[in-house]
Amino acid sequence: MSENLKLQVHCNFCGKNRNEVDKLIVANDAGICNECITLCSNIINKENNDHIRKDKKVNKALDPIKIKQYLDDYVIGQDAAKIAISVGVVNHYKRIFFESSVELEKSNILIFGPTGSGKTLLAKSIARYLNVPFVVADATTLTEAGYVGDDVESIISGLLAASDYDVARCEQGIIFIDEVDKISRKSEGASITRDVSGEGVQQALLKLVEGTKCKVSVNSSKKHPALDQVEVDTSKILFIAGGAFVDLNKIVERRQRGTSIGFNSNNTADLNNGQVTPEDFMKFGMIPEFTGRFPISVQIDELTKDDFVRILTEPKNNLLSQMKFYFSSDEVELSFTAEAVDAVAELAFEQKVGARGLKSILERTLMPYMYTLAEIKKQGFKKIEITDKVVKYNDPPNFIE
């Protein structure tokens, strides 16, 4: 290529010159810029995804009992929450799918309770049952439009991507907004980069969760503002908000003490479903309009050590089976004594991060044997038995030929 030609190279797709783009890749007599490469790659990925996910039919078996039974296969405990969510979700989709002579108000769902106890898992499992697109958004990274951070509309583009850019499908999806308790009026410094109050984010979310026509660009590249903009109507999207709401029980306690003077006043508050009122959430720092848009509130219980044992062994894709897979693919059987399972549950319970602790404990316990698995196999061992001593004291497991 002559020196003269090199200076003239431009992107043959969009026509931009070398100095207008970050990168330009040139062949003998043609060029393509980084922006067009991204665009092409998105088109190819989208087509690949279309190929993979053929079954886009929403499951319209809207029977709360069936949903609850499905959830039982994946989520341990939380019976009251499963029932409340199943009913809430069924009513939401009845509102979408069936004509009604009375105008049905939209009811989003708020799930609250200790961390690592199944809030996200419940929402995700319901979406899988219904076969609708699902995304998790983190409320702490959101800002009002115009501030540093993701504006609330970014949630919708996330769901649109999860819908393979099928707008109709997107409009039937579920969005889980996690950590909404961190955008309460009172919470400070949930994010260092955030220069906006939690209250501002709550305000910004109102329209979206209630139902609005939201313009989202299909390509997130800021350099292509003119790229396909599509309009998504959020009025049929189900929003499930989740949060730990630590110390909400103190607010409930205070209220109950205040209203029942003398008699029963020493009772500690019991946060059963129905006991927490919208006023309690407002005292916590949620603005009335926000609370009003999540009229169904569902409480998650703290999981017990016994629940942890069940989580390790019972769900369809339980953690022990997952771990066993990594060994079986090398033709070594992995087994756990009952005491070992108990020890994992016990350790996780002490960590106070809910079921989330289980996986890291298992990983840590098994890591040395995953590392040396090929060697173990070579020595003729067919089975590794994990005892409680392996879990508690890092003792070696039983190697069985």
Contact 116, 194 (CB under 8 A): no
In the list ligand ADP, Mg ion, none, the entry touching 315 (Cβ below 5 to 8 angstroms by class) is ligand ADP
* 233-272 positions binding Mg ion, by CB under 5 A: none
Return the DSSP state at 271: -
356 lies in the site for ligand ADP, by CB under 6 A: yes
* 27-86 positions binding ligand ADP, by CB under 6 A: 75-78
The residue (of 178 and 342) whose beta carbon lies closer to ligand ADP is 178
Q: How far is the CB of 134 from Mg ion (least distance, A)?
A: 13
* 290-329 positions binding ligand ADP, by CB under 6 A: 303, 311, 315
Angle between the 356-371 and 338-351 helix axes, to the nearest 10 degrees? 130
Per-residue binder mask for Mg ion (CB under 5 A), 104-133, x = binder: ----------------x-------------
Widest distance between CA atoms in the chain: 95
The residue (of 120 and 235) whose beta carbon lies closer to Mg ion is 120
Concatenating the DSSP letter of every residue in 49-108 gives HHHH-----------HHHHHHHHHTT--S-HHHHHHHHHHHHHHHHHHHS--SSPPPP--
Q: How far is the CB of 121 from ligand ADP (least distance, A)?
A: 3
Burial class (CB in 10 A: 0-12, 13-18, 19+), 278: middle
Tokens in use for 227?
A: 């790229």
In the list ligand ADP, Mg ion, none, the entry touching 78 (Cβ below 5 to 8 angstroms by class) is ligand ADP
Tokens in use for 172?
A: 């039937």
Contact 170, 232 (CB under 8 A): yes
Buried b (16+ CB within 10 A) or exposed e, 209-220: bbeeebebbbbe
119 lies in the site for ligand ADP, by CB under 6 A: yes
Per-residue binder mask for ligand ADP (CB under 6 A), 253-292, x = binder: ----------------------------------------
Site of interaction with Mg ion (CB under 5 A): 120
Site of interaction with ligand ADP (CB under 6 A): 75-78, 115-121, 242, 303, 311, 315, 354-356
